[in-house]
Structures are given as C-alpha cells and as structure tokens.
C-alpha cells in the first residue's frame, strides 16, 4: 500500500513538471500553502504491545491459539497551513490523525465466534517553523531542501482492547483516553512548478507519548475503572505531501 501511495505522489510530481514545461513559465512559490500529507510511519506502542504480549502468553498460547499481532505501523494524515514570513523561513500550523488496529478471529465451533481487536487513535495539533535552504532552479522547476520542527498537542487519544464473542458473559471492552504534549522534527525537499501545486517528500520524527490515561473496562456485569498502559505513538515516518498555493 505504501508503494502505491508513494507512486501516486511521484506521478503527481512528474505530471506537474510536464504541465509546467508546456506552460513555459517560471516556478510559482506562493507565500501561503495548504499542505496535505499522508505519511507511513512506525509506531512505538511499547507498553501497549507488552500488554498484548502478556495476553497472548497467559490466555491464548496455553490453549494452542495464535496470538494477536503487535501494532508497529500506522498512516499519519495531516492538513497544514505553511506561510513564508521570509524567503527562507516559514511558519506552520495544522492538525492530523493517526490510527492503527490489529485483530484476530477464532471460530471454535459452528455458530461460535470470538474476535479480539486492539486499536489506537491520536489527533495531533501542531505549530512549528521551517528553514529553507538555497533553491535549486532548472528552468520552470525549483527544489528547496528544508529543516523544521515544532510542538504538538496530542488530543483525542484513545486506546482500545476488547473481546467480542457469542459466548454469554465473555465479552469485554477496555479503553483508555488522555492528552499530552509532544514535539516533532522533520527534513525534506519542497518542489515547486509553474503551477499553484507543489510536492513535498521528507522524513519526520514525532515524540508522542501519553501517560496516565483514564482507563475503564466494560463487561456484561458493568463498567469499572482500571489501569491501562501508556500510549506511545512516537516514530519515524516518510512525509509524502501535496502543497496548494493560496
């Protein structure tokens, strides 16, 4: 899937370059850009995955069942406004979403079904700045390397782990929620064409760990407060984005 999405971004860059050459104009660099990103990223999820390992070891493996897989990867979608305050300095603000899930289904007998599901969700809001290096110009094409970083407010963070089954009284759903600050750093290249659209590719690291989540478990007997593991969505990802000049 990541190869397909990278191919889409690359194809967009080639198409924009072709249209720009046909127009015979100089590269357009707009002061204000809407940047839409789709970034495949690793996810640490250290404590959350330890919890899954413990469930596998204590509950599933003794019964000869295959355990539920760890969460190690996610797609991070982001909408950002990027404004050039100077030719080589930009500020940005935006909001994104990161979601990942893993599940395992068992069919122990006819008309019997057991499904395990674990998932995490985070909505980072960020502000930051970027430094753009000297541009490389070739006709109607311009490319500029950049370095940047900023602060994040991690809101609407959720982690869930549950079991749904046709067996009476066996289903449960545990969830945790909380907020936390974080930060990010990034580096990449911003490519401009003789059009309002531009393409960005780069690398981004996010430090995003939420501690002391409020946990609750729902069962057929009622709902109870329980401790839940920390939610760590930190990781390194590849930024693939399209910018729209405004």
Q: What percent of the chain has pLDDT over 90?
A: 76
In this predicted model, what pLDDT tens digit does every residue of 198-227 receive, in sequence order?
A: 999 999 999 999 999 999 999 888 899 999
State the number of CA atoms in the 13 A half-sphere of 142 facing the CB: 18
Distance of CA 207 to the CA centre of its chain: 12
Residue 100's DSSP bridge partners are 120
The CA distance from 240 to 237, in Å, is: 10
The pTM is what? Answer: 0.83
| Tens of pLDDT, residues 41-90 | 999 999 999 999 999 999 899 988 899 999 999 999 999 999 999 999 99
pLDDT at 108: 77
Q: Which residues, 6 or more positions from 125, have their beta carbon under 8 angstroms from its beta carbon?
A: 94, 95, 152, 153, 155
Q: Which domains does the chain have, with CATH numbers?
A: 2-245 (2.40.160.20)
DSSP annotation of 64: T
């Amino acid at each position: 899937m990541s190869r397909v999405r990278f191919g889409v971004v690359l194809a967009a860059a080639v198409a924009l370059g072709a249209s720009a050459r046909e127009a015979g104009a100089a590269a357009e660099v707009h002061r204000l850009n809407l940047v839409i990103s789709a970034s495949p990223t690793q996810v640490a999820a250290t404590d959350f995955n330890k919890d899954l390992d413990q469930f596998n070891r204590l509950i599933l493996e003794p019964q000869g069942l295959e355990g539920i897989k760890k969460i190690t990867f996610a797609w991070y979608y982001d909408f950002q406004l990027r404004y050039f305050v100077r030719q080589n300095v930009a500020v940005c603000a935006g909001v994104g979403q990161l979601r990942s899930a893993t599940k395992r289904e068992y069919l122990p007998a006819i008309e019997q079904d057991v499904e395990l599901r674990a998932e995490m969700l985070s909505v980072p809001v960020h502000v930051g700045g970027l430094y753009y290096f000297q541009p490389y110009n070739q006709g109607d094409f311009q490319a500029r390397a950049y370095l940047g970083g900023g602060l994040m407010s991690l809101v609407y963070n959720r982690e869930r782990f549950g079991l749904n089954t046709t067996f009476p009284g066996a289903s449960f759903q545990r969830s945790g929620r909380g907020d936390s600050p974080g930060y990010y750093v990034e580096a990449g290249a911003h490519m401009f064409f003789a059009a309002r659209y531009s393409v960005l590719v780069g690398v981004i690291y996010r430090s995003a760990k939420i501690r002391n989540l409020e946990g609750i478990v729902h069962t057929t007997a009622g709902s109870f407060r329980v401790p839940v593991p920390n939610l760590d969505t930190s990781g390194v990802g590849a930024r693939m984005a399209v910018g729209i000049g405004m």
